[in-house]
């Protein structure tokens, strides 16, 4: 009996392995239903899971709605009615530039603060000095961080710098390096001679431009001169060289420098420009407006001139061919921690240098252009006319100080005009200068 049972089991196992249908008929009839039932239940398992998940989702949603109705939810500022999923993005795309459409919309609503829904993000626009102070002073800990955008990610090599870096440990690290090791008082005094050389070269460059025009002189593009000077100063401080190539014979920028500065200004134009992909990441593949394309092209130009110098300098220090620091690039490379390891990686050095060069050609050049545009009328006034009106607008105390300083009437009025402009421009961070200090004229 045991032998017959063993043979039957062997036959059944062989049949199950070769043909499942034959295996089904070899079983007793009462087992057929159990097998059909198990296969049917396996097919119904996904539907059961989906049904249970749907029930849980609906219950949870209704519970949250009921719970939130009992709480007071703070209301957002007024704004346009958003579309599902995309928010107010279609309106911004139809009414470019986006900032102008926002300004007109806020003016239409007669409000100084408005909310614009872009994808899943609520963008708050402010057009009031008092509200701005509340954002930047009272709630500065909340709004101190930088926004994460596609262009800033490309520009900072994956957020390795300081200026466009969101709040975090990396930002603290790079800020500490810049303040304590790179732009401290000793380093600025150490590089004073290089800055003076570039100032002399600027005067020589302007003189050569004027001399080429003969006795009548030549028109000088002040914007080009200001941008060239700002870029030359930082290139000299950073790389200990004035030009990436040979430069021009008159001392001005060459083709390489012009291409490099142009790429920096392209980066400034698109760095924080409105991009739909920043709020709807699934649209990044389309690159609407070609912002990402232009930023990458500008970065390739910057890398072409900068990374060659950085890579060569790093190799010189590693091979021991360079012993003493001559510029800020050497300072970045030679920074060591307590264990003697480099503080900054090669990518961090390259990214931070690019950011410094960007800031250098931006603010100083604009400051020079602003000052010249405000004072332009004073350069075309005769000394006699200046002498007649020199003391009319000055208080008695200021008139006495200017008379004792030995300045000419033209210089006196120009200094007073500078004083007036700086007092009216506190929002632009131009601080008043003490005109009674004679060293101001010497510096």
pLDDT tens digits, one per residue of 335-375: 999 898 999 999 999 999 999 999 988 778 777 777 766 66
CA distance 89 to 236: 44
Q: How confident is the model at residue 214 (pLDDT cuts 50, 70, 90)?
A: low
Question: What pLDDT is recorded for position 97?
Answer: 86
pLDDT tens digits, one per residue of 313-345: 999 999 999 989 999 999 999 999 989 899 999
pLDDT tens digits, one per residue of 168-202: 899 999 999 999 999 999 998 999 999 999 989 88
Question: CB neighbours (10 Å) of residue 180?
Answer: 10
pLDDT tens digits, one per residue of 71-98: 555 688 999 999 988 899 998 888 888 8
Look at residue 425 and give its three-state secondary structure.
coil
Measured in whole angstroms, the distance separating CA 136 from the mean position of its chain's CA atoms is: 18
Residue 109 half-sphere exposure, CB side, CA atoms within 13 Å? 19
CA distance 213 to 236: 29
Q: Which residues have CB under 8 Å from 3's CB, separation 6+?
A: none
CA distance 432 to 55: 69
> Helix, strand, coil shares of the chain as percentages rounded to 5?
70, 5, 30
In this structure, of 31-35, 297-301, 380-384, the range with the lowest mean pLDDT score is 31-35
Question: What pLDDT is recorded for position 40?
Answer: 58
Q: How confident is the model at residue 391 (pLDDT cuts 50, 70, 90)?
A: very low
CA distance 54 to 59: 9
Domain boundaries, the chain: 2-69, 75-144, 149-376, 381-443
CATH of domain 149-376: 1.10.630.10
* Structure token pair of residue 93: 């795309």
Q: How confident is the model at residue 246 (pLDDT cuts 50, 70, 90)?
A: confident
Say yes or no to pLDDT of 61 above 60. Answer: no
Contact by Cβ (8 Å): 287, 277? yes
| pTM, to two decimals | 0.68
Contact by Cβ (8 Å): 287, 151? no
Average pLDDT over the chain reads 76
* Structure token pair of residue 11: 């036959």
Contact by Cβ (8 Å): 190, 330? no
Q: Which residues have CB under 8 Å from 401's CB, separation 6+?
A: 435, 436
CA distance 317 to 301: 25
């Amino acid at each position: 009996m045991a032998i017959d049972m063993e043979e039957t089991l062997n036959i059944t196992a062989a049949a199950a392995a070769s043909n499942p249908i034959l295996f089904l008929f070899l079983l007793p009839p009462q087992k057929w239903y159990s097998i059909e039932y198990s296969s049917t239940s396996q097919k119904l398992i996904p539907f059961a899971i989906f049904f249970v998940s749907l029930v849980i989702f609906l219950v949870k949603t209704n519970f949250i709605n009921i719970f939130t109705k009992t709480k007071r939810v703070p209301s957002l500022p007024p704004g346009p009615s958003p579309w599902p999923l995309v928010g107010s993005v279609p309106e911004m795309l139809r009414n470019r530039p986006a900032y102008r459409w926002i300004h007109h919309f806020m003016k239409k609503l007669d409000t100084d603060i408005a909310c614009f829904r872009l994808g899943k993000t609520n963008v708050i626009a402010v057009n009031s000095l008092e509200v701005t102070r509340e954002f930047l002073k009272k709630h500065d800990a909340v709004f101190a961080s930088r926004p994460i955008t596609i262009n800033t990610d490309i520009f900072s090599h994956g957020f390795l710098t300081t200026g466009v870096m969101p709040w975090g440990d990396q930002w603290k690290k790079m800020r500490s390096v810049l303040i304590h090791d790179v732009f401290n008082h000793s380093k600025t005094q150490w590089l004073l001679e290089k800055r003076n050389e570039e100032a002399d070269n600027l005067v020589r460059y302007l003189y050569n431009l004027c001399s080429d025009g003969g006795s009548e002189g030549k028109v000088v593009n002040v914007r080009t001169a200001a941008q060239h000077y700002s870029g030359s100063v930082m290139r000299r401080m950073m790389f200990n060289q004035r030009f990436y190539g040979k430069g021009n014979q008159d001392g001005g920028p060459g083709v390489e420098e012009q291409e490099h500065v142009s790429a920096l200004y392209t980066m400034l134009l698109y760095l924080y420009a409105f991009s739909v992909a920043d709020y709807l990441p699934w649209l990044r593949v389309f690159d609407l407006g070609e912002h990402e394309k232009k930023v990458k092209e500008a970065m390739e130009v910057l890398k072409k001139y900068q990374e060659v110098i950085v890579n060569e300098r790093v190799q010189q220090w590693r091979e021991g061919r360079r012993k003493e620091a001559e510029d800020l690039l050497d300072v970045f490379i030679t920074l060591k921690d307590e264990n003697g390891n480099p503080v900054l990686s090669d990518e961090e050095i390259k990214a931070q240098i690019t950011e410094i060069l960007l800031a250098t050609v931006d603010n100083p050049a604009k400051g020079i252009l602003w000052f010249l545009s405000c004072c332009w009328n004073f350069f075309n006034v005769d000394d006699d006319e200046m002498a007649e009106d020199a003391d009319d607008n000055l208080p008695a105390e200021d008139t006495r100080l200017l008379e004792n300083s030995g300045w000419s009437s033209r210089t006196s009025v120009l200094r007073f005009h500078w004083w007036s402009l700086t007092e009216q421009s506190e929002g632009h961070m131009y601080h008043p200068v003490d005109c009674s200090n004679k060293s101001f004229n010497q510096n």
